[in-house]
Structure 1
């Protein structure tokens, strides 16, 4: 029986020593911190979320400019044919010291047209095939156009007699040509621009 007590005496201290060692230097199993979550890996062939958001951003199309619009020093270019024809009544001679030249433009439609257009025509002058004045700005808002097939409408038109060149001065005396443009935006179609001319003009 004494032998049994001696065996217990040596086993218990050894077990106590092992437990104490684990509590001081070993990993604490009861308070172990959870591992940081791993970053989500992108599937092969897919873009990261940030890039995907950028790629999904839409860009509004920019409307194309009218490449036939009159520009200073450029040759006259006629717009595409429309259902509208433009005729004009203008003086054939004006004093060179005048500020503007004005007249009337008659717009005739070959088909029914309903939409919005400017209350005046854009009038500009050309000399030796080159544009020398650009249309004057129009401050007025658009007006309603409602033309039946074959119907006409008259609107005013005026052009400056000042050169469109930088620091432009009065146009010198000589022979010129006038062109008028009328733009109408139908209710169910893109803007259509019609052009009339040339009409001769002498500055004296």
Structure 2
């Protein structure tokens, strides 16, 4: 058994060449191998209990060493693991996977992918010059006077982010609240300074990244 950090250069994970620990490797995860070596018996401190994980039950590997992948020293091939989510990558047992509530889907997604997708959608509809604002309805007797519109960052002189992989950073943040809620919801926070009015915190339903339905 080896730590993922010890995977050598030139290791093949499917069609991808990798080296060392990958983002889906858990803190207590080990890699099985057919590599054999002779070591000094005095260097062995004690026997280690390592479980094989079939990726169906996270609870069976809590607070214990486990393995799910094997490294073939003759071919430098790393065995495959189950892929999840719209990003088609493995799950990290130290991080949460969320299951779609639609019976026809029931696919699992990474919590971070759900949050990032929600922030991307928010940024696309709000950009850097709009706030999330609840609809403003004229009060009776105001003759339809327009409600007060919150100032945008461009009007207040606030800085805006440029293009990038995560353009919402510094503008908005979101998290699943609470992660074990049924169904879960996403709580958003507007981080923009110097802007009056508008909703600074609000919640929205979670949308499946694969079937497009909202959790219910």
The bucket for the TM-score relative to the shorter chain is under 0.3
Q: TM-score under structure 1 normalisation?
A: 0.20
Larger fraction in strand: 1
Q: TM-score under structure 2 normalisation?
A: 0.19
The higher radius of gyration belongs to 1
